[in-house]
Amino acid sequence: MLTICREDTAEVIKRTDIFEEIVEELKKIGVLFERWNAKKTISEDSSEEEITQAYMEDIQRLMKMFGFKSYDVISMTPDHPKKDELRNKFLKEHTHSDFEVRFFVYGDGAFYLHPDDKVYIVICEKGDLISVPAGVPHWFDMGTSPNFKCIRLFTTEEGWVANYTGSDIADRFPKYDELKVG
């Protein structure tokens, strides 16, 4: 689901759940959006090894395309002791000098991209891949009951490094919990 809003009033300009339209709109702002299919059966209990094997063709395609050097699998569960701390870390607007790529093996979350005078809210679910270009302000809301497993791809050894913009824009937009209900 993609919702495009004005940055100042959060007024909705466009909303679509049609895959081709989402790909097209996000392409305009340099964001890659794909759907991946597992080549092997995996379950929520699958190991990191089993998960990466099931998506290896796609992982290697992107590694070649963008020069990624490493990848890992991260998990978040509603009973994670640091879920609030981690949620808040991603919930403030920030940029990266490297670009961010996430593939949702399971679960969901909302990316808020702020490349110009609009905010693009992308709700990602199982099978969705999204990239956030270097330097594009954005934030991510995993919700108050986070539950997901993601493959991350990196071009640097440092992994995830954020530069916070200091903006409070994220406070003026609906949180993921509200988006899920609405």
21, 53, 92, 100, 156 from 161: Cα distances, Å: 31, 27, 13, 10, 10
**By C-beta, is 100 or 128 nearer to Fe ion?**
100
Nearer to Fe ion, 54 or 129 (CB): 129
**Nearest residue to Fe ion, scored by beta-carbon proximity:** 100
Minimal distance, residue 139 CB to Fe ion, in Å: 7
Rounded-to-integer distance, Cα 140 and Cα 138, Å: 7
Q: How far is the CB of 182 from Fe ion (least distance, A)?
A: 24
Q: What CA–CA distance (Å, rounded) separates 73 from 51?
A: 8
Smallest CA-to-CA distance from 79 within 159, 34, 23, 144 is with 144
Mark residues 61-100: x for contact with Fe ion by CB under 5 A, - for none: ---------------------------------------x
Size of the site for Fe ion (CB under 5 A): 1
What is the residue type of 177? D
- Residues in the site for Fe ion, rule: CB under 5 A? 100
